[in-house]
């Protein structure tokens, strides 16, 4: 009897001991995760600029802005497609200049045809060589070798040398171009893009009025193997410069459940900071951007870019400008300075956003909108203006997980999962 009781107590002992020992670690982990929770506001802090069609106010004052496209001579058809689309849906009313950038000399046929498509508002510039090449401190043979290996390992575009120059250019050098100095705002477009709704107001004016610095349409996951070292370099820069953690930064993170002190060992894993917490890989898709160049020209941003550039990751890995811009916004901007253009229909590659049309908001008799016909049906809750969402481009946004994460600091709780 006694023996059996001792036996039973002995069997129970290790478990209670384990529990007593583990409790502080579990509590610490819970507190740690809790510290990364981002409160949702009571009201929407980033409402759409427009929730129906408007009569384009062609007499209104414009902002100091430019539409920019990086293109190659052999992308003439794809470039035309984008420019036809943005002209028809927006720029025929607002007449912003459209600047085309090339790392090579322009072909006269491209210039003539695209200037015509752009309604005579085309500006054609060549990027100075020093903005589109390896920096001095990069060992070019090693970099070329690495690019070859990255291509073989299959990260998208990572085997193309020009793509690496492009990512570096858009990450930092773009904002140093002399030809852009006189502008404050830019709208970035790419060859082969469709704008699927009419944009009947001036997004630059609205951005300025509401003190926004960065506007996007699509948020999604970065391809992890293209940039294993980017997040660690970013987090190290953030820490070394004493940048205060914002809600947007926390929303981009996935805090580790690993208890202290073991969490620190995770810092050796890609996409983690020196404490072992991870970046979710969520970012804004930068091939559509409407943004304030002064943000990216700021000392803080250029210091961040230089820091990344010195690390060599634009070549030894394939750090993308989308992730770089997004991480910088999360560090250096307030979440309320970021705008989601959920009313803009946009497609590039296989990714798209296409809003539902606003009920009763289509101005069917407007003469200025006469050409922007027909449109897909109106539905309750829609905010689109004459959106044409057909086939698989039908309605809604891509990658709701990242979109929800990045909008979290500005969006009140809705439904069960958001």
Ligand X SMILES: *[C@@H]1O[C@H](CO)[C@@H](O)[C@H](O)[C@H]1NC(C)=O
Interface residues toward ligand X, by CB under 6 A: 111, 115, 120, 122, 124
d(CA 405, CA 43): 17
d(CA 93, CA 368): 9
Structure tokens at 260: 């202290």
d(CA 168, CA 230): 13
Q: Which C-beta is closer to ligand X: that of 177 or that of 333?
A: 177
Radius of gyration (Cα) for the chain, nearest Å?
25
CB-side exposure of 346: number of CA atoms within 13 Å? 25
- Of the candidates 260, 276, 336, 273, the one whose C-alpha atom is nearest the C-alpha of residue 28 is 260
d(CA 58, CA 403): 33
d(CA 319, CA 310): 13
Beta strand segments in 177-328, E: 185-189, 193-195, 214-216, 219-221, 253-254, 278-279, 282-284, 289-292
Structure tokens at 193: 């893009």
Q: Which residues are the active-site residues? A: 289
Contact partners, residue 167, CB within 8 Å, separation at least 6? 314, 318, 319, 320, 321, 324
Q: Which C-beta is closer to ligand X: that of 111 or that of 143?
A: 111
Q: Could you give the angle at which helices 108-117 and 76-86 cross, rounded to 10 degrees?
A: 20
> 187 — phi, psi (to 5°)?
-120, 115
Q: Which C-beta is closer to ligand X: that of 94 or that of 285?
A: 94
Residue with tokens 């900071």: 273
Strand partners, 253: 279
State the nearest-atom distance from the C-beta of 290 to ligand X, in Å: 24
Closest CB to ligand X: residue number: 120
Residue with tokens 């705008």: 339
Is the Cβ–Cβ distance between 286 and 188 less than 8 Å?
A: yes
State the nearest-atom distance from the C-beta of 124 to ligand X, in Å: 5
Q: Which C-beta is closer to ligand X: that of 115 or that of 302?
A: 115
State the nearest-atom distance from the C-beta of 273 to ligand X, in Å: 47
Q: Which C-beta is closer to ligand X: that of 97 or that of 135?
A: 97
Structure tokens at 368: 């200025």
Q: Which helix (H) or strand (E) holds 185?
A: strand 185-189
Q: Which C-beta is closer to ligand X: that of 143 or that of 179?
A: 179
Q: Which C-beta is closer to ligand X: that of 95 or that of 298?
A: 95
Q: Which helix (H) or strand (E) holds 347?
A: strand 346-348
State the nearest-atom distance from the C-beta of 210 to ligand X, in Å: 33
State the nearest-atom distance from the C-beta of 95 to ligand X, in Å: 12
Structure tokens at 418: 């958001």
Three-state secondary-structure class, residue 68: strand
State the nearest-atom distance from the C-beta of 182 to ligand X, in Å: 17
Q: Which C-beta is closer to ligand X: that of 124 or that of 375?
A: 124
State the nearest-atom distance from the C-beta of 111 to ligand X, in Å: 6
d(CA 295, CA 305): 12
d(CA 386, CA 200): 10
State the nearest-atom distance from the C-beta of 118 to ligand X, in Å: 8
Contact partners, residue 250, CB within 8 Å, separation at least 6? 36, 37, 38
């Amino acid at each position: 009897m006694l023996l059996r009781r001792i036996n039973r107590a002995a069997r129970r002992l290790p478990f209670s001991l384990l529990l007593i020992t583990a409790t502080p670690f579990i509590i610490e982990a819970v507190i740690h995760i809790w510290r990364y929770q981002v409160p949702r506001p009571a009201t929407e802090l980033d409402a759409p600029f427009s929730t129906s069609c408007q009569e384009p106010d062609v007499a209104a004052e414009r902002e100091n802005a430019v539409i920019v496209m990086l293109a190659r001579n052999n992308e003439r058809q794809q470039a035309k497609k984008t420019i036809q689309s943005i002209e028809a849906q927006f720029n025929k009313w607002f007449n912003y200049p459209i600047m085309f950038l090339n790392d090579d000399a322009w072909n006269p046929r491209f210039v003539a045809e695209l200037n015509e498509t752009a309604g005579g508002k085309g500006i054609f510039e060549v990027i100075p060589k020093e903005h589109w090449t390896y920096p001095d401190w990069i060992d070019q043979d090693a970099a070329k070798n690495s690019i070859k290996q990255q291509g073989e390992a299959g990260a998208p575009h990572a085997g193309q040398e020009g793509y690496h120059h492009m990512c570096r250019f858009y990450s930092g050098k773009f904002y140093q171009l002399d030809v852009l100095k006189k502008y404050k705002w830019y709208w970035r477009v790419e060859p082969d893009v469709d704008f699927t709704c009419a944009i009947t107001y001036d997004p630059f004016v609205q951005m300025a009025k509401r003190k926004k610095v960065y506007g996007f349409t699509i948020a999604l996951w970065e391809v992890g193997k293209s940039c294993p070292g980017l997040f660690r370099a970013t987090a190290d820069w953030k820490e070394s410069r004493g940048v205060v953690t914002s809600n947007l930064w926390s929303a981009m993170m996935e805090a580790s459940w690993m208890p202290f002190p073991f969490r620190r060992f995770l810092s050796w894993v890609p996409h983690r900071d020196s404490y072992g917490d991870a970046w979710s890989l969520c970012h804004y898709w930068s091939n559509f951007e409407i943004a304030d160049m002064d943000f990216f020209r700021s000392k803080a941003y250029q210091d961040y870019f230089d820091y990344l550039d010195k690390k060599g990751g634009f070549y030894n890995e394939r750090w993308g400008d989308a992730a770089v811009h997004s991480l910088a916004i999360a560090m250096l901007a307030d979440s309320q300075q970021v705008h989601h253009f959920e009313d803009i229909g946009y497609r590039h590659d296989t990714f798209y956003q296409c809003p539902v049309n606003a009920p009763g908001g289509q101005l069917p008799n407007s003469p200025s909108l006469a050409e922007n016909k027909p449109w897909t049906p109106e539905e309750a809750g829609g905010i689109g203006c004459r959106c044409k969402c057909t086939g698989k481009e039908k309605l809604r946004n891509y990658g709701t997980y990242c979109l929800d994460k990045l909008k979290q600091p500005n969006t009140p709780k809705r439904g069960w999962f958001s």
